[in-house]
Amino acid sequence: MSEPHVRILGDGSCELLTWLDYATLEDVTVRWESAADLAGDWLIETRAGTPGPAFSFLWSACHQPLDGIVSVLVALANAAGDDEDMLGGLGAGWLEDLIPIAGKVPHLLDELERAARQKPTIRAALGTVWMGADVPPDVRQRFRKYGARDVTADGSPS
């Protein structure tokens, strides 16, 4: 099985390259015309409890981290709406994975903070994030005001 590669294109479409299709055991490319389309597939996969191409895309995009990932996460939050379980999964999953890595890419933290100021759904998702010692202290302080919890020994959990 090949390692998945992902990209977000200038037109807003998202691509997952070299995803293993378990039905054919072939590597295929999956393309979503927009982040909203990807978010729709994420909802379906998550509610079914069956990770698929959307999950693979998000895992790779959050762990690289990929430029444009914050706009994709906003699309996930928009798709989740007021579904607390989905927002919780977004926060405790993708946001919690992204924040420690994005600490090395300051413009992604700026984008995430801007989204938190503007989108109640992103703030709700951030309320389920636990930030540990792998998150720099200044980043933990920055996102605590949006509900993320500092769970380090020297932090004051909120």
Which of 27-31, 37-41, 106-110, 132-136: highest mean pLDDT?
Answer: 37-41
For residue 149, what are its two tokens?
């919890």
Is pTM beyond 0.85? Reply is yes
Confidence band of 5 (pLDDT split at 50, 70, 90):
confident
The region of weakest confidence among 18-27, 35-44, 47-56, 58-67 is: 18-27
Question: Average per-residue pLDDT in the chain?
Answer: 89
Distance CA 68, CA 108 (A): 8
Confidence band of 158 (pLDDT split at 50, 70, 90):
very low
Listed residue (51, 49, 57) closest to 32, CA to CA? 57
Q: How many Å separate Cα 141 from the centre of its chain?
A: 20
Distance CA 123, CA 116 (A): 5
Q: What local confidence, expressed as pLDDT, does residue 47 receive?
A: 94
Confidence band of 104 (pLDDT split at 50, 70, 90):
confident
Distance CA 144, CA 126 (A): 9
Distance CA 148, CA 158 (A): 7
Instruction: Give residue-wise pLDDT tens across range 7-42.
Output: 999 899 999 886 666 666 677 788 999 999 999 999
Q: What local confidence, expressed as pLDDT, does residue 102 receive?
A: 84
Q: Tell which wins on pLDDT, 1 or 67.
A: 67
